[in-house]
Amino acid sequence: MFTSLDEPDLELLIAGPSGWGDPVIVDNKRIRQLGYVEEHDLASLYQLSLGCVFPSLYEGFGYPVAEAITLGIPVACSNNSSLGEIAGDAAITFDPHSPEDMKRGLKSLVHDTALRNTIVKNCTARSNLFTPEHFRMQLLSLIKAL
């Protein structure tokens, strides 16, 4: 479904171990499965990217989305589970059960420069939610409420 974007200058890099079930074998030279990526290489991988795509069917937190946002990288992700709350206005969201909606989200990420620039600006404000200071303040607030 991703190969139908008709973007000859772009590659889809799939980072991380395969998810649930058997690994997917992709026979397409524009889609590269990197497997596990060392933590010290992730920032470079994100920063060299046009954006981060996270088509998860279920997610507990969504670390890749938070990582991309804190680095100012625009995100296209599923609109389910915790991802909408994590991404906020720093992402284009799509229905992961709909190939057409996913394609729409990816095309927006690739072609809509104004939208992508707005998302990058929103990443700065959104990334403040993922700092140790913010966590500390939220924890203190919770403790005081007890």
* Residue 75: both structure tokens together: 């995100």
Which residues pair with residue 13 across a beta bridge? 32
Q: Which domains does the chain have, with CATH numbers?
A: 2-145 (3.40.50.2000)
Give the model confidence (pLDDT) of 24-40 as tens digits.
667 788 888 888 899 88
Give the model confidence (pLDDT) of 60-97 as tens digits.
788 889 999 999 999 999 998 888 888 889 999 999 99
Angle at 36 between CA 31 and CA 42, to 5 degrees: 85
**What is the band of 127 on the pLDDT scale with cuts at 50, 70, 90?**
confident
pLDDT at residue 20 tops 70 = no
Query: Residue 36 burial by CB count (10 A; 0-12/13-18/19+): exposed, middle or buried?
Result: exposed
pTM beyond 0.85: the answer is: no
Cα separations in angstroms, 10 against 33, 34, 70, 99, 113: 14, 16, 23, 19, 15
| Angstrom distance (rounded) from CA 83 to CA 77 | 7
